[in-house]
Amino acid sequence: MHRLPNPACFLGLAFALLLAPIAASAQIALLPKVGSTGLGGDIAIALTDRVSVRGGIGTIPIEFEGVEIDGLKYDITTPDLFTTVGLDLRVAGPLRLIGGLLFRSGDFEYETFSTGTIEIGNQTFTETGRLFGKWKNNTTSPYVGIGLGSTTGSGLGLFLDAGVAFTGDPEITAEVDGNLANVPGVLAEVERERQNINDDIPGYAEYWPFVQIGFRLGIG
């Protein structure tokens, strides 16, 4: 179900790498990290004593199996890649303000299989097939937040970012294939199931938590 990464998702890392030659005399740091954008890393370059630019990538290397939604158990696949590019502003001591853009390659996808009996919407069908769909929202989203710990400087250090990305209202899709797709009335029940899933989505789902923790390795 995974798709190839969108080239735009490499923008954050490419941006930081392009800045590296013109900031050769500045402080540069590698930032291995883990959080809501997955497992990955950033490159940070200090532009001034207080301002640094960061770009990085992350991926969620797991799939979620057996997640129950509206009475059915789904397997959920995560997007291929998260990429960020943004600025850090040190305001006082270890406190930073952060902001930038979050890019996502791919969507959250779900699927469940029928080996002979499956309840979709308000009906039970006795055919084999698959019910599947996507959770779709903005693939490019601004984010803001606060951070603790320096992301540039020599030596080792810890850092924490906490904020929110504004991803927009999600759109849920739903489809069936296999023998299920040929059963009369199944499409109406699939639409009912899609609406049931949509109704279960909380209002705050248009926001994505932007939380990262990692350590700094200064190299310049």
Condensed to tens digits (0 to 9), the pLDDT of residues 93-135 reads 899 999 999 999 989 999 999 988 888 888 899 999 999 999 9
Q: What is the mean pLDDT of the chain?
A: 86
Please give the average per-residue pLDDT across 28-42, as a whole number.
95
Would the pLDDT of 6 be above 60? no
Distance from C-alpha of 114 to C-alpha of 119, rounded to nearest angstrom: 9
Q: Which has more confidence, 33 or 3?
A: 33
Q: Tell me what pLDDT residue 122 has.
A: 86
Q: Which residue has the higher pLDDT, 196 or 174?
A: 174
Residues 52 and 71 sit within 8 Å (Cβ to Cβ):
no
What is the Cα 156 distance to its own chain's centre?
Answer: 27
pLDDT at 61 over 50: yes
pLDDT over 90 for what percent of the chain? 58
209 pLDDT above the threshold of 50: yes
As a whole number of angstroms, the distance between CA 176 and CA 186 comes to 9
Q: What is the pTM of this model?
A: 0.80
How far apart are the C-alpha atoms of 10 and 33, rounded to whole Å?
17
* Integer angstrom CA distances of residue 51 from 14, 169, 215: 19, 32, 18
pLDDT-derived band of residue 63, with 50, 70 and 90 as boundaries? confident
Residue 185 has pLDDT above 70, yes or no: yes
Long-range Cβ contact pairs of 68-71 (< 8 A, separation 24 or more): 69/110, 69/197, 69/200, 70/193, 70/196, 70/197, 70/200, 71/119
